[in-house]
A = this chain, B = another copy of it.
Amino acid sequence: MTPRFSPQPAQADLTPVPPPPPRERILAAASDLFYRQGIRAVGVDAIAEAAGTNKMTLYRHFESKDSLVAEYLRRLSGKSQVFWSEIEREFPGLYRKQLEAWLEAAGRDANDPQGRGCALANAAVELAEKDHPARRVIEEHKRAQRDRLAKLCADAGLKQPEMLADELFLLLEGARVCSQSIGTDSPCCNFVRMGQAIVASHEK
């Protein structure tokens, strides 16, 4: 099947974009498979094949499946930090607006019909071993998320900002896991409204 239109610009034939290096392809494939099917359900062979490479190359870039999992989660955690910066940049100084934007983005996330909740939280459920290298990443990420939210609630001048942050944090964690257990027509459909109500109950 030769595509009628190349996805590249006109000069693509002269300077075709080089494919991403194997490490990136492996991480991209692993991210997709781990998230959609679960970490334990995906073998390294499947990842290598989906990445268009082989197991040997995978193990040249990652010392084990566990460390690949940890790196997969580390990347996701990084993306979430980027998200916070974007919110800050979009509404500089407008903390109530930032909180509203967070609520709506979180609501979109929790209600994505293709979504399977939070990859970090899912990993914590799947990887029960207390000494798994991924657990440090997960705990640090979740702690940072909560603290960031608490700072925002405080900046927004709301009552009991720490408690409010905990409420919103747990509400989101719950919504993302609920989307996997109940699925459609579940409580998480009203996440944004609930979040707004909880915020309102902390108004001065």
Asked whether A128 and B142 contact (CB < 8 A) given A166-B187, A187-B170, the answer is no
**Contact between B37 and A142 (Cβ–Cβ < 8 Å)?**
no
B174 pairs with A187, CB closer than 8 A:
no
Contact of A128 among B37, B120, B146, B183 (CB under 8 A): B37
Within 8 A of B (CB), among A109-168: 116-117, 120-122, 124-128, 138-139, 142-143, 146, 163, 165-167
Q: List the 9 closest pairs (A to B, CB-CB), nearest first.
A: A170-B174, A174-B174, A173-B174, A166-B187, A201-B201, A124-B181, A40-B40, A125-B125, A124-B180
Partner-B contacts on A (CB < 8 A) = 36-38, 40-41, 116-117, 120-122, 124-128, 138-139, 142-143, 146, 163, 165-167, 169-175, 177-178, 180-183, 186-188, 190-191, 193-194, 197-198, 201
Which of A41, A174, A188 has the most chain B CB atoms inside 10 A of its CB?
A174
User: Please, which residues of chain B bring their CB within 8 A of the CB of A182?
Assistant: 139, 142-143, 146
Chain copies in the assembled complex = 2
Are B122 and A125 neighbours in the complex by a CB distance under 8 Å?
yes
Kindly state the separation between the CA atoms of A37 and B129 in the bound complex, as whole angstroms.
Answer: 7
Q: Are B170 and A128 in contact (CB under 8 A)?
A: no
**What are some 27 contacts across the A-B interface (CB < 8 A)?**
A36-B128, A38-B40, A38-B125, A38-B126, A38-B127, A40-B40, A40-B126, A41-B128, A116-B125, A125-B126, A125-B177, A139-B181, A139-B183, A163-B190, A165-B187, A166-B187, A166-B194, A169-B187, A170-B175, A173-B173, A173-B178, A174-B175, A174-B177, A177-B177, A197-B201, A198-B198, A201-B201
Beyond A40-B38, A40-B41, A117-B125, whether A190 also contacts B177 by CB under 8 A is no
Q: Which chain B residues border A193 with CB–CB below 8 Å? A: 163
Whether the pair A167, B194 counts as a contact (CB closer than 8 A) is yes
A-B contacts besides A38-B40, A170-B187, 13 pairs, CB < 8 Å: A38-B125, A40-B41, A116-B125, A124-B177, A146-B187, A166-B190, A167-B197, A170-B170, A173-B174, A173-B178, A174-B174, A174-B177, A197-B201
